[in-house]
């Protein structure tokens, strides 16, 4: 390759001036006088500005990635991760605030919250009163259709009577494998009759063996003094020594026995006093949930 005379001259001049220790002012003056624009240490061409910048940038970044800056970046990442973990831990620990009984807001498992502690107003311990009634109809013990069928009978009668929340009612019945206490809500609220009389102040009182008033008022607020199918002790456990009318089922309950309660009683016999043959007809107790 043939190098132009002008380029060769500029290269030589620059090299010579640099070797002689020329000052910057002398170099600038010479370049201005002879129109020399580039100085290069190589005959193959000038060093391009872009190339130099790229090399410099790459050279500067490499030490940073291996040096202190890289460590700082790593440390910052660790701190960020730690902060994230701490934040997540705080969120999991705090969670939503617990329900506060008495603030006038129904929340959590509360069924009411009237914001006061006035007794007898239908809301106690943030639980509404639960209606209890003896059914106006009687059924053979082996023809209730099991626990589910008995619950449906309670709901149908409650619905026909226009009781609120009719579809929540369940029968006070047990089987050998399922107690009334386990399948009914153990409410902290009161249990009351259709006419407003209190049966018990809460679940513990209902299952204590003593009632305030007997459960002898039906869904129509009529008095019904009768023996009642229960198969259940007053504490809510299954009554021992009975067949539960074959789990209150028509096919398996023939020629079997189940426990009776007395609707006129306020002692433990309200729920159980003796077994009776399942072919007999009797009402059942229904409790709002």
How many angstroms separate the CA atoms of 58 and 100, rounded? 63
How many angstroms separate the CA atoms of 263 and 265, rounded? 6
**Paired tokens of 143:** 């023809």
Which pLDDT belongs to residue 28? 59
In a domain, 208, yes or no: yes
The reply to whether 139 and 279 lie within a common domain is yes
In a domain, 113, yes or no: no
Using pLDDT thresholds of 50, 70 and 90, give the confidence band for residue 265.
very high
Of 18, 43, 66, the one marking the end of a domain is: 66
The reply to whether 278 and 205 lie within a common domain is yes
In a domain, 79, yes or no: no
The reply to whether 167 and 269 lie within a common domain is yes
CATH number assigned to the domain comprising residue 134: 3.10.100.10
Look at 259 and 102; give whichever has higher pLDDT. Answer: 259
The reply to whether 10 and 137 lie within a common domain is no
In a domain, 119, yes or no: no
Looking at the 3D structure of the chain, how many domains does it have?
2
Of 66, 93, 109, the one marking the end of a domain is: 66
The reply to whether 179 and 266 lie within a common domain is yes
Which pLDDT belongs to residue 29? 56
The reply to whether 140 and 232 lie within a common domain is yes
The reply to whether 260 and 150 lie within a common domain is yes
Residue 19, domain extent: 5-66
The reported pTM is: 0.64
In a domain, 118, yes or no: no
In a domain, 73, yes or no: no
Q: What's the average model confidence in pLDDT over 72-77?
A: 39
What would the pLDDT profile of 229-263 be if each residue is shown by its tens digit?
A: 999 999 999 999 899 999 999 888 888 999 999 99
The reply to whether 23 and 137 lie within a common domain is no
The reply to whether 140 and 283 lie within a common domain is yes
The reply to whether 142 and 222 lie within a common domain is yes
């Amino acid at each position: 390759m043939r190098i132009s005379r002008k380029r060769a001259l500029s290269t030589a001049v620059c090299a010579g001036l640099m070797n002689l220790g020329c000052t910057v002012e002398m170099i600038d003056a010479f370049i201005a006088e002879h129109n020399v624009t580039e100085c290069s240490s190589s005959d193959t061409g000038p060093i391009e500005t872009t190339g130099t910048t790229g090399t410099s940038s790459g050279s500067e970044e490499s030490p940073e990635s291996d040096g202190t800056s890289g460590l700082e970046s790593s440390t910052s990442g660790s701190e960020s991760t730690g902060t994230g973990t701490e934040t997540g831990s705080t969120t999991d620990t705090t969670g939503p605030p617990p329900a506060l009984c008495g603030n006038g807001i129904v929340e959590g498992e509360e069924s009411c919250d009237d914001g006061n502690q006035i007794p007898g107003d239908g809301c106690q311990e943030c639980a509404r009163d639960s209606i209890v009634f003896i059914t106006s109809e009687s059924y053979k013990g082996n023809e209730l259709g099991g626990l589910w069928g008995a619950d449906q009978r309670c709901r149908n009668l409650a619905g026909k009577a226009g009781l609120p929340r009719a579809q929540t009612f369940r029968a006070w019945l047990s089987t050998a494998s399922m107690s009334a206490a386990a399948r009914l809500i153990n409410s902290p609220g009161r249990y009351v009759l259709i006419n407003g009389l209190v049966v018990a102040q809460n679940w513990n009182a209902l299952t204590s063996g003593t009632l305030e008033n007997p459960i002898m008022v039906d869904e129509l607020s009529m008095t019904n003094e009768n023996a009642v199918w229960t198969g259940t002790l007053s504490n809510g456990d299954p009554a021992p020594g009975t067949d539960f009318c074959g789990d209150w089922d028509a096919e398996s309950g023939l020629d079997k026995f189940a426990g009776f309660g007395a609707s006129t009683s306020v002692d433990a016999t309200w729920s159980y006093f003796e077994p009776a043959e399942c072919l007999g007809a009797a009402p059942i107790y229904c409790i709002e949930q």
